[in-house]
Amino acid sequence: MTRPAKRAAETPAPRRARPALRLSLQFADARHRASLARADVSRWIRAALAAPAEITVRVVDVDEGRELNRQYRGQDHATNVLTFPYARAPVLNADLVLCAPVLRREARAQGKALSAHVAHLTVHGALHLQGHDHQKPRAAARMEALEKRILAQLGYPDPYAGDV
């Protein structure tokens, strides 16, 4: 009787190395610092990155969010996230602005955990910084699918579940 051939030990597929990230995290109001850990912001952004990046994330109040939105988008209200890419290659260099009161209000209105909503909008902003958008239906579907996949890998639920 012949012996069965030894099978090579199955090895899991190597994990994709995350691109390097230099992160600066700024808070317009020190009260927001306690609710947003640098390690979380870094993990969320790195999960969305396709290339090395230097990103400043600034967490603002309603007044600063409104002023930035008015100045750069011509809209006279604070919005949840604003993105400012300056260079995309060889290193992504950009600013990402999160408006804490808007994010808090949206999470409450949508019945979502604040951390899940902030993770979603941080990933969403990081994708915008890399050129993704949702202006046309096909681009929106691609971006949403990417957001869902990244957030699932991070352990968060589908941010669009329940949307009509």
Residue 130 is assigned to a structural domain of this protein: yes
pLDDT at 13 over 60: no
Domain total of the chain: 1
- What average pLDDT is seen over the chain? 91
In this model, does residue 23 exceed pLDDT 60? yes
Q: Which of 120, 60, 49 is CA-nearest to residue 85?
A: 49
Give pLDDT, residue 50.
95
Task: Flag whether 6 is in a domain.
Answer: no
In the predicted structure, residue 1 carries a pLDDT above the cut 60:
no
Q: Indicate whether 12 belongs to any domain.
A: no
End-to-end CA distance of the chain: give it in Å, rounded: 64
CATH number where 148 lies: 3.40.390.30
Mean pLDDT of 68-88: 97
What's the average model confidence in pLDDT over 137-159?
A: 97
- Say if 5 falls within a structural domain: no
Can you give the pLDDT at residue 14? 53
* Domain membership flag for residue 52: yes
C-alpha distances in angstroms, 55 versus 20, 28, 29, 83, 93?
Answer: 11, 17, 19, 10, 6
Residue 5 has pLDDT above 70, yes or no: no
Q: How many residues does the chain have?
A: 164
Do strands 92-99 and 81-87 pair parallel, antiparallel, or not at all (unpaired)? antiparallel
Pair of tokens at residue 55: 């990103």
Give me the domain span that covers residue 95. 21-153
| pLDDT over threshold 90, residue 8 | no
Residue 15 lies in a domain: no
pLDDT digits 0-9 by tens, 112-130: 999 999 999 999 999 999 9
Mean pLDDT of 146-163: 94
Q: Is 57 helix (H, G, I), strand (E, B) or coil?
A: strand
In a domain, 83, yes or no: yes
- Checking if the pLDDT of 52 tops 90, the result is yes
pLDDT at 163: 64
Look at residues 92, 98, 93, 33 and name the one whose alpha carbon lies nearest to residue 69.
98
pLDDT confidence of residue 32: 86
Q: Average pLDDT in the 56-85 region?
A: 97
| Residue 91 φ/ψ, nearest 5 degrees | -125, 130
Q: What angle do CA 27, 33, 34 make, to 5 degrees?
A: 170
| CA pair distance 118, 40, nearest whole angstrom | 10
Is the residue at 138 inside a domain? Answer: yes
Q: Are 67 and 90 in contact (CB under 8 A)?
A: no
Query: Residue 18: its pLDDT value, please?
Result: 80
What is the reported pLDDT for 164? 46
